[in-house]
A and B are shown apart, each in its own frame.
Chain A
Amino acid sequence: MSARTDVKTYSGFQFTTILCILILYAPLIVVTVYSFNASESITTWRGLSLRWYVDIFVGPESAKFQQAAINSFSIAIIAATLATAIATAAATAIVRGGKYRLRTPSLGLISLPIMVPEIVLAVATLIFFNFIGFARGYMTILVAHIAFCIPFAYLPIQARMQGIENTYEHAAMDLYATKAQAFRRILLPLMMPGIISGFLLAFIVSLDDFIITNFVKGAGIETLPTAIFGSVKQGLKPNIMAISTMLLGLSIVMVTISYFVSKSDNTK
């Protein structure tokens, strides 16, 4: 096919794509490289070193970061687990519940946390906790995270369940399995890739959240993002580069797992 009639290729599009990838990754690569800088300053390069990674664990700010990490990870695990369970139940009702009047409103409610701008959701949640007299702290962060993680867990689970034909459950029920058994022994195992993928995405979204956490956290408690933000407001420091690189690596690992798990097909 000659270049003129090859309708699929346009000159410059490949260049733009490479530029796009470069833009997306350049800042992340630069920060990763500088996190291994031996220098006290973030500007001058003094050779490779792991000193800032050591500093996170034993340095003057280590206690603060460790507490923040414990808060972040425990909240992310609990919130992602509960959000995934709630989303799985909801997806079953939406995908396997037939047609009914509450189906569309339920879908609307589930997508609400991703339709409302994050700062508005943050304001609303803060005001609500104030209104019901719920003191701000660990519990307020946890509850807010459970709520906004639901749509992120829901999407891959729904996608997965739509891909599973109901003949498998019907075959089980023809063989006298109860509906509960068909769900637990047939549908749930088939849905596992979607559930794992949903859990991992909810986990990352919870771990990464800054705006809502910053509003509902109260004075004495920090998560990793709020601790990093507080530190960056006082100036960029090399230990922040190291901690950011570690979080970056964690996100990449989890997204990679989620991506390949959700692509896997266990219905064969």
Chain B
Amino acid sequence: MAGGAVSGGSAASDTYAEARQWLLVPSWLVLGIFVLAPVCVMVIYSFLTKEFRGGVIWDPTLAAYDQFFFDRGLFGDGDPKLQWTYISIFWRSIWQAGLATILSLLIGFPTAYYIATRPSSTRTLWVFLITIPYWVNLLIRTVSMKFLLRDEGPLNGFLMNVGLINDPLHIINTNLAVQLGLFYSYLPFMVLPIYAAVERYNFTLSEAAADLYATKWTTLRRILLPAVKPGVIAGCILVFVPSLGAFLAPDLLGGAKNFMIGSLIEEQFKGNAGNWPFGAAASMILLSMVMIILLILSSQRRRAGVDQ
């Protein structure tokens, strides 16, 4: 669940100012030792030599990154050529995550807008309906999707019963299944931030535009959309970033042919490949991509004066 940073708010009460160091010590210790330090150790491991049955040999090398980007022939002494195997896995992941984000936006935006414009009594119920799947076990949701999309599954059964198709659609183990899985997994992440933005939107602006003879769609595009853009961007990040590193959807719905970054990384530690430095390097490249996206967006937001 990657995405926006926690904001501390602006309330600057200082009742417990003299105890603040002691109150922070437990979180610094636990997160420093078990989150920050591990990420640093991972950086080091990505520059070490691989041990054949997992683990590392303490011999610094760039081999893992070299293996990622370059092909040096069968004996490792040829001229370096760009190695497309891993780059294309990353490219496919970006593509899949991007399509899942667009699809979630197409469904999520109208949903968020519709919910935010309901009277406050029914609004709570709608938000609650979107919140529930947000917290339901991702593994169970992915397994449910696999069950639904199977060749003999309920979706094909339904479509054949109503006569739309004669033969079952082969969706499982295709790119489409992975996309649907990612879209389904992270759709609530798109709806909730856009909803929050539209709910704060001042609708008299739209009414003013309508009074000046703007059509409804022009009003939506030119007046509302710029105002709720931060919510839309937050939603896109919350879908794109976890989709990029997803493991369950490609593994359970995509099968062996539709590898994504998450599966590539997992295989280095749990599967047969067993190359820890390479897995650490691939994780570093994924982490850097995510951090670059978050930095660009936060600097844009600061320039736009959205942050306090």
Judged by a CB distance under 8 angstroms, whether A28 is at the interface is yes
Residue pair B131, A90 in contact (C-beta under 8 Å)? no
Whether the pair B32, A236 counts as a contact (CB closer than 8 A) is no
Tell me which of A46-54, A57-65, A103-111, A188-196 binds B.
A103-111
Neighbouring A residues of B89 by C-beta, 8 Å: none
Instruction: For B286, list chain A residues within 8 Å (CB).
Output: 117, 119-120
Give chain A nearest CB distance to B261 CB in angstroms.
8
B272 within 8 A of A: no
Q: Is the CB of A119 within 8 A of B266?
A: yes
Q: Are B216 and A7 in contact, with the CB atoms below 8 A?
A: yes
Is B36 located at the chain interface by the 8 A CB criterion? yes
**Looking across the interface, which residue of chain A has its beta carbon closest to that of B5?**
A111
Chain A nearest Cβ from B154, distance in angstroms: 5
Report which of A20, A26, A148, A241 forms a contact with B108, defined as CB distance below 8 A. A20
User: Given A9, A21, A120, which contacts B283 in the complex, CB threshold below 8 Å?
Assistant: A120
Interface residues on chain B, size class: 35 or more
Q: Which residues of A contact B45 (CB under 8 A)?
A: 127, 131
Q: Is B12 interfacial (CB 8 A cutoff)?
A: yes
Instruction: Name the B residues within 8 Å of A20 (CB-CB).
Output: 107-108, 111, 130, 187, 191
Chain B contacts of A19 at CB under 8 A?
Answer: 107
Give chain A's interface residue range (CB within 8 Å of chain B): 35 or more
A16 contacts across to B, CB distance below 8 A: 107, 110-111, 114
Main DSSP-derived SS at the A contact region: helix
List of B residues within 8 angstroms of A117 by Cβ: 2, 241-242, 244-245, 286-287, 290
Residues of A within 8 A of B (CB): 4-5, 7-10, 12-14, 16-17, 19-21, 23-28, 30-31, 34, 42-43, 85-87, 89-90, 92-100, 102-104, 106-121, 123-128, 130-131, 143-144, 146-148, 150-151, 154-155, 158, 162, 166, 169-170, 179, 182-183, 201, 204, 207-208, 210-211, 214-215, 225, 228-229, 232, 236, 240-241, 244, 247-248, 251-252, 254-256, 259
Supply 20 further A-B pairs (C-beta < 8 A) apart from A116-B290, A256-B128.
A24-B130, A24-B187, A27-B144, A28-B136, A31-B148, A85-B26, A95-B13, A97-B17, A106-B28, A113-B35, A119-B286, A120-B265, A124-B35, A126-B269, A130-B55, A169-B15, A182-B15, A210-B248, A244-B137, A251-B135
Which of B's residues lie within 8 Å of A, judged by CB? Answer: 1-3, 5-9, 11-17, 19-21, 23-24, 26-28, 30-32, 34-39, 41-42, 45, 55, 107-108, 110-111, 113-115, 117, 126, 128-133, 135-141, 143-148, 150, 152-154, 184, 187-188, 191, 203, 206-207, 209-211, 216-217, 219-220, 241-242, 244-245, 247-248, 252, 261-262, 265-266, 269-270, 276, 279-280, 283, 286-287, 290, 294
Nearest first, the 6 closest Cβ-Cβ pairs linking A and B are A98-B14, A97-B20, A128-B38, A117-B245, A27-B144, A124-B38
